[in-house]
Homo-oligomer: A and B are copies of this chain.
């Protein structure tokens, strides 16, 4: 039998398994068995912990968002200069590439949010929190005289998050000419106009394997005929 775990531990594991399974098969296309397999358990065990699958899926999305947001906060926590803070924040809101797990999960929700209130709220809440994050950076920068805001800080912040989101989708969809770098550059163009600051990207340390976001996509069932 698979290593037995405490209720709490197992639930955490399941949430993570669900997250992985959803990324592979879609937020609405996942099957119980896929989650079970991802967790190394049988479907019965999953149901034992989550009699209603939907609860698990929601928790998984919630956890994914929380993780995504926390990572962003963490990345800018040490930075003092508002300009560098802004640049770093922009980068941290974009996927590293088409396979970035964190953003993939968020993108999955886009469509479902229109049909499912819970998902809509989840997404909306995340958006608002991100706006607040940017707004703080902008306000502090303005207070320090580093930024000369070309408008309301909330308006700018909303547009920044919106741009991030949209380019996230583009990158996930493998747009041929828009990758993380191009997206950063495009968003920075807007940020410069809005802050009146040159926002030079420090060519600084981008060490090889620091990020924790990336996920495996283990030799998983390729669907037949996806590309006609």
Contact = CB atoms under 8 A, between A and B. Distances in A.
B162 A117 contact: no
Contacts of A161: 166
B173 A158 contact: no
Majority secondary structure, A binding face: helix
B118 A175 contact: no
Contacts of A5: none
B117 A107 contact: no
B111 A111 contact: yes
B117 A227 contact: yes
One complex includes copies of this chain to the number of 2
Contact of A114 (B107, B117, B119, B178): B107
Nearest to A103: B114
13 contacts: A54-B225, A55-B228, A58-B228, A107-B114, A110-B110, A110-B173, A113-B169, A155-B186, A158-B186, A159-B186, A162-B167, A164-B166, A165-B166
A112 interface: yes
A55 B224 CA distance: 13
A27 interface: yes
Interface of A: 24-29, 52, 54-55, 58, 98, 104, 107-120, 123-124, 127, 150-151, 155, 158-159, 161-167, 169-170, 172-176, 178, 186-187, 189-190, 193-194, 223, 225-228
Contacts of A175: 124, 127
A111 B114 contact: no
Contacts of A151: 189, 193
B120 A173 contact: yes
Given A163-B166, A166-B165, A113 B193 contact: no
